[in-house]
Structure 1
Amino acid sequence: MTTPEPAVPHAGDSGLLRVKMRVAYDGGPFSGWAIQPGRITVQGVLEEGLATLIRRPVRATVAGRTDAGVHARGQVVHFDLSPDEWYGLSRGKDLEPGEALQRRLRGVMNKILHIGFSGAAVRTDRHGANSSVNAIQVHDAVLAPEGFDARFSALWRRYSYRIADDAGSWDPLTRHLTLWHKGALGVDGMNEAAKALLGLQDFKAFCKPREGRTTIRELQRFEFVRNDDGVIVATVQADAFCHNMVRCLVGAALLVGSGDRSAEWLTERLLARKRDAQAKMSPAHPLVFEEVGYPGEQEMLSRAESTRARRFLP
């Protein structure tokens, strides 16, 4: 087992080590990422698992909160441990602490999920087993670079959204990850409408504003591609997202694609900066948090500090 020099988190001279962990999850069984009283959430299960291993409460910070039913392949979280807690994870075995954490946390979380969902109305596999078990997976855990913050150091987040607009492509094996849309969609019109929203904009019309929070975001990618199997895959990437922003953007584009609205309608909605009954959210289950991007190690701290500043339109 090697013991590289630990990275000191930006929490000052706390003596703690910041751990960066990459996780994936099936959002179907959960009430979203964030802890909610009386509900089973991804953060709740993850933090309960960490507390079981570390034997104290551990707070996890995530790159991007996801709504109920939304999935993740490349989610990133961070949390802080003492050197003894980090290196003690190996329990004297010839394992890196990160590998030991990955193995032990997987087992602990599966026990929590099995107990938490016992008797609940969740999907089961062909053997009748609770399908929420293994719904959260830890891909890796490493010591983070100095100044790293899973949320504020991020340069961008990328989501995907699958849409099948032909009954011939309605695959029951992927129904939990795909929107079955009744009626053909015009991908060209959707892309024309989506392109006009790119850049630094106020997306108040496409999100659920939270008091005291800015709705200004930089939309970097918003595009629709029809794959060889006929399924349309949307890619939405921004420096950050407001609450429900991706689902509102996709929902609005679907109205354009179906011919219910013109391509210019999205731009009109954007400039109105008003959320009203015209805003339509697409269903959550096809939405996947795919990836988050970070700067080089030397720029982690400066990126986190600049992101914390409130954004304004020029």
Structure 2
Amino acid sequence: MRYALGVEYDGGGFQGWQGLGPSGPPTVQAALERALSAVADQAITVSCAGRTDAGVHAQCQVVHFDSTATRDPRAWTLGTTGRLPPSVCVRWCVPVADDFHARFCARARRYRYLLLNRLVRPALYRHHMAWERRALDADAMHRAAQALLGENDFNAFRTVHCQAPHARRNLQDIVVRRDGETVEVEIQANAFLHHMVRNIVGSLLEVGAGAQDEGWIAQLLAGRDRTLAGPTAPPQGLVFLRPLYPPEWGLPTEVTL
């Protein structure tokens, strides 16, 4: 049987999603595979919808795995969660068709970046939001961000270590909003490049702080030069909200288009 899982995690204690071998630093994938293997009483490997970096969180990462073990979805969900560290849980488990793939069947991914915008750094939520002391104009950031919509070459917003064969991505939605002292950036695309969201946010912060004008984002996009863009925003403000799939896969509503 093939199963899909919805996995929630706090990435603060992990060196990202991807497993780095038995002697490597802790990763979410390694923790999940150990827990699943214990429940199945056999070795389990998982594939995810989108790998996250060290310190980045997930509200609903989707993974799939195969197993010959006879377990119902409740047993996979509760049994696996019981063997995971407190910072990771399995929210749901759904049997899926053999040709389902968590990464390749996803049609979009959605992220949220949250930061505290005030003079004093955060204490209470410091592991789950970034901090910007400069006063930010969230409306200016939102207007500037609309230049990124559509299918474009995002070379200006990917790390030099990105291994993707090309930088063309279809950015479907980007919203910047303020709620009191917090500024939130929510962004959806068919797929993302390495550090793409954090690099976009880092450049939008320069616009919000008045260091660059609103047209600068469009200029960066057209120029395709990472060295001219803003710095990479810190990881702790970023949450992978969910991937999105066509309805025929029968997954929960939160991850269905």
TM-score (norm 1): 0.75
CA distance in 2, matches of 1:298, 1:42: 25
Match of 2:222 in 1: 271
Question: Would the alpha carbon gap of residues 202 and 51 (structure 1) be closer, same or farther in structure 2, given more than 3 Å must change?
Answer: same
Whether the aligned pair in 2 keeps the contact of 1:20 and 1:150 (CA below 8 Å) is yes
CA distance in 1, matches of 2:81, 2:249: 32
Whether the aligned pair in 2 keeps the contact of 1:160 and 1:289 (CA below 8 Å) is yes
CA distance in 2, matches of 1:162, 1:237: 15
Whether the aligned pair in 1 keeps the contact of 2:10 and 2:88 (CA below 8 Å) is yes
Aligned length, in residue pairs? 248
1:34 and 2:18 matched:
yes
Alignment of 1:302-313 (within 5 A): none
CA distance in 2, matches of 1:212, 1:237: 18
Whether the aligned pair in 1 keeps the contact of 2:100 and 2:249 (CA below 8 Å) is no
Match of 1:159 in 2: 111
Partner secondary structure for residue 207 of structure 2:
helix
Match of 1:150 in 2: 102
Structure 1 residue identity aligned to 2:89: Q
Match of 1:214 in 2: 166
Q: Which structure dedicates a bigger proportion of its chain to strand?
A: 2
Match of 2:192 in 1: 241
CA distance in 2, matches of 1:76, 1:298: 13
Whether the aligned pair in 2 keeps the contact of 1:146 and 1:297 (CA below 8 Å) is no
1:43 and 2:18 matched:
no
Question: Would the alpha carbon gap of residues 42 and 298 (structure 1) be closer, same or farther in structure 2, given more than 3 Å must change?
Answer: closer
1:203 and 2:203 matched:
no
CA distance in 1, matches of 2:80, 2:132: 38
Deviation sequence 1:118-139 (CA, Å, 0-9, x none): xxxxxxxxxxxxxxxx100100
Structure 2 residue identity aligned to 1:32: G
Whether the aligned pair in 2 keeps the contact of 1:74 and 1:291 (CA below 8 Å) is yes
1:285 and 2:236 matched:
yes
Runs (4+) off by over 3 Å: 209-212
CA distance in 2, matches of 1:179, 1:260: 19
CA distance in 2, matches of 1:255, 1:70: 22
1:187 pairs with one of 122, 132, 138: 138
Whether the aligned pair in 2 keeps the contact of 1:204 and 1:275 (CA below 8 Å) is yes
Match of 1:105 in 2: 80
CA distance in 2, matches of 1:171, 1:39: 28
Whether the aligned pair in 2 keeps the contact of 1:145 and 1:297 (CA below 8 Å) is no
1:18, CA displacement in angstroms?
A: 1.2
Whether the aligned pair in 2 keeps the contact of 1:63 and 1:154 (CA below 8 Å) is yes
Deviation sequence 1:67-114 (CA, Å, 0-9, x none): 0000001111001112xx1x2x3xxxxxxx11111121122223xxxx
Match of 1:262 in 2: 213
CA distance in 1, matches of 2:132, 2:190: 29
1:258, CA displacement in angstroms?
A: 0.7
Deviation sequence 1:262-290 (CA, Å, 0-9, x none): 21111111111222264410000010011
Structure 1 residue identity aligned to 2:216: W
1:225, CA displacement in angstroms?
A: 0.6
Whether the aligned pair in 1 keeps the contact of 2:122 and 2:131 (CA below 8 Å) is no
1:63 and 2:74 matched:
no
Whether the aligned pair in 2 keeps the contact of 1:206 and 1:248 (CA below 8 Å) is yes
Whether the aligned pair in 1 keeps the contact of 2:159 and 2:196 (CA below 8 Å) is yes
Partner secondary structure for residue 69 of structure 1:
coil
CA distance in 1, matches of 2:92, 2:250: 22
Deviates more, 1:51-60 or 1:254-263: 51-60
Q: Percent identity?
A: 37
Partner secondary structure for residue 236 of structure 2:
coil
Partner secondary structure for residue 153 of structure 1:
coil
CA distance in 2, matches of 1:32, 1:298: 27
Match of 1:9 in 2: none
Match of 2:182 in 1: 231
Structure 2 residue identity aligned to 1:107: G
